[in-house]
């Protein structure tokens, strides 16, 4: 992490350690946020899928966002992936999490789009360890992210704010995106652990 971010980050680390999730306002430098938003608009966004089955009728009842995976093809993407690589190292040093790699996609929610309550990883069956969502624009209404505890009690409601980042343990928190009113742009990502054992190839999630 850069110097000024360092101080703020130790408080954020405490929050993450105690709760398993944390909201980091102003995570992205403004210039990078703008570059990512421009880059997002150059991508061919596709109707998002859920799991491995690509039954789009079923999917549309669960989620309606449009996505494009980042692969480092632009400077903006490289900048973002570099920041997340630093974050990965920081989590590994601080919490011994054994994070191994990172995957992420742009997402656009247009008016009425939502993502129903879900978890990003099933205990013992996935290598997704930490979920990250960076918000690329601020909304005035709609599109809030809600996190729930394991008893399905609402923990927090996060209103997307440009440059803000939310991080949470992927297995632990059911969450949902309320129907968007303002258009909403984000990057959803997952730090993964390498679950390969005894020479078996990790099938992924
Ligand atoms: C996801 C997700 C939350 C958000 O893409 O899996 O839960 O706030 N996104 O965009
Ligand atoms: Mn999710």
Probe residue for ligand 1, chosen from 177, 189, 205 as the CB with the greatest number of ligand atoms within 8 Å: 177
15 occurs within a structural domain: yes
Q: Which residue has the tokens 């938003």?
A: 37
Q: Indicate whether residue 139 lines ligand 1 (CB < 6 A).
A: no
Please answer whether residues 82 and 76 qualify as being in contact, where contact means their C-beta atoms are separated by less than 8 angstroms: no
Is the distance from the beta carbon of residue 185 to the nearest atom of ligand 1 less than 6 Å? no
Instruction: Using most ligand atoms within 8 A of CB, pick from 59, 66, 105, 115 the residue to mutate for ligand 1.
Output: 115
Q: Is residue 21 part of a domain?
A: yes
The verdict on residue 203 lying in a domain is no
Instruction: List the pLDDT tens digit at each of the 205 positions of the chain.
Output: 554 555 567 888 999 999 999 999 999 999 999 999 999 999 999 998 776 555 666 688 899 999 999 999 999 999 999 999 999 999 999 999 999 999 999 999 999 999 999 999 877 777 999 999 999 999 999 999 999 999 999 999 999 999 999 999 999 999 999 999 999 999 999 999 987 654 445 554 4
CATH of residue 179: 2.60.120.620
Indicate whether residue 188 lines ligand 1 (CB < 6 A). yes
For residue 141, give Cα distances in angstroms to 18, 34, 38.
Answer: 29, 21, 22
Is the shortest distance between the CB of 77 and ligand 1 below 6 Å?
Answer: no
Query: Which of helix, strand or coil describes residue 44?
Result: coil
Is 145 touching ligand 1 by the criterion CB < 6 Å?
Answer: yes
Owner of token pair 């129903």: 116
Closest CA to 76 of 21, 130, 109, 34: 34
Instruction: Sheet containing 145-148: give its strands across.
Output: 115-118, 175-177, 145-148, 154-158
**118, part of any domain:** yes
Residue to mutate (ligand 1; options 186, 187, 205; most atoms within 8 A of CB)? 186
User: Domain of 65?
Assistant: 3-51+58-192
Query: Into how many domains does the chain fold?
Result: 1
Query: How far does residue 177's CA lie from ligand 1's centre (Å)?
Result: 7
Is any ligand 1 atom within 6 A of the Cβ of residue 158?
no
Asked if the structure places residue 188 within a domain, the reply is yes
φ, ψ of residue 45 in degrees (nearest 5): -75, 140
Judge whether 204 lies within some domain: no
Residue at 202 is within a domain: no
Does residue 154 belong to any structural domain of this protein? yes
């Amino acid at each position: 992490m850069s110097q000024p971010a360092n101080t703020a980050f130790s408080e954020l680390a405490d929050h993450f350690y105690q709760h398993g999730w944390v909201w980091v306002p102003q995570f992205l430098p403004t210039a990078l946020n703008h570059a990512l938003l421009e880059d997002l608009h150059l991508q061919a966004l596709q109707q998002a899928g859920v799991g491995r089955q690509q039954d789009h009728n079923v999917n549309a009842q669960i989620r309606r966002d449009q996505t494009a995976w980042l692969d480092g093809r632009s400077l903006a993407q490289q900048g973002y992936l570099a920041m997340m690589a630093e974050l990965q190292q920081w989590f590994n040093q601080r919490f011994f999490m054994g994070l191994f790699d990172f995957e992420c996609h742009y997402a656009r929610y247009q008016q009425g789009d939502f993502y129903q309550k879900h978890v990003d990883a099933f205990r013992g069956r996935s290598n997704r360890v930490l979920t990250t969502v960076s918000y690329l624009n601020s909304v005035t209404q709609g599109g809030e992210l809600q996190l729930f505890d394991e008893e399905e009690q609402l923990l927090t409601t996060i209103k997307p704010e440009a440059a803000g980042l939310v991080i949470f343990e992927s297995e632990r928190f059911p969450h949902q995106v309320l129907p968007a009113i303002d258009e909403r742009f984000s990057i959803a990502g997952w730090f993964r652990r390498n679950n390969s054992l005894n020479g078996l190839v990790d099938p992924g999630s």
